[in-house]
Amino acid sequence: MQGLHYLKGLKGFTLAEVLITLGVIGVVAAMTMPSLISNHKKSETSARLKKFVSSVNQALIFAEQENGMREDWEIGEMNSQESSYNFLAKYIKPYVKSYDIEKTNFQGKIGAKLTFLDGSQMFIKIGNCYDIYYDINGDKLPNTVGRDIFAFILCRKKDCRLSTNQVTGFWCSATEDRPRDKARQYELCKSNGNSCTMILEDNQWEIPDDYPIRL
């Protein structure tokens, strides 16, 4: 009975108190939600980039086992949809999970694209090296290089003074060494989204907190 008297003595929240509490919760949510969304985008982007780089470089290793060293592969005709298509069909598609290859152009570049099972896409254009653009969400917006599209390059070691025959951040060292200075990399990323993958590569494909482009 004593406990019952105690409960009767308790007062519930007034409507004003409830509204104030809900208001505080709303303000906190409004303050934290953008940060949560941004962190989610960064995590998702990093995960897709890591998967892409790993999958394509692994495909190149398998392709070398069946077709000889990539140093000896025929590059094909430059700026050709047909040559780009053939490269993807022979050296990439057999070793990754994907849909069809399509001859297409991207931002004025002539080439072909391959769509992965997760909806992301890989576009390749053959020049002195292979220009590669990876779109983490396919045809969805914003379709902006440095935000949801990321540029890579694939060069033969002898062409670009590289120590690897695999996909790297977008910079061909044929005439100039790759910038390692952080300030210079950020400057290049702001002026040309192609250069942003240098930042990401040096950060193990994680999106840094001070990444210069808003995702």
Region at 185 (left for phi over 0; alpha for psi -120 to 50; beta for the rest): alpha
The confidence score (pLDDT) of residue 7 equals: 47
pLDDT tens per residue across span 114-161 = 999 999 999 999 988 899 999 999 989 999 999 999 999 998 766 666
Neighbours of 52 (CB within 10 A): 23
CB neighbour list of residue 56: distance below 8 Å, 6 or more residues apart: 92, 96, 122, 132, 166, 167
Is 72's pLDDT higher than 80?
yes
Distance separating alpha carbons of residues 130 and 153, to the nearest angstrom = 6
Is 20's pLDDT higher than 80?
no
Q: Which candidate, 25, 21, 44, 45, places its Cα nearest to that of 33? A: 25
Q: Are 97 and 116 in contact (CB under 8 A)?
A: yes
Tell me the mean pLDDT in the region 87-106.
96
Q: Are 134 and 152 in contact (CB under 8 A)?
A: yes
E strands in the chain: 98-106, 109-116, 121-126, 130-135, 149-154, 168-169
What residues does each domain of the chain span?
41-202
Distance separating alpha carbons of residues 180 and 174, to the nearest angstrom = 16
CB neighbour list of residue 139: distance below 8 Å, 6 or more residues apart: 121
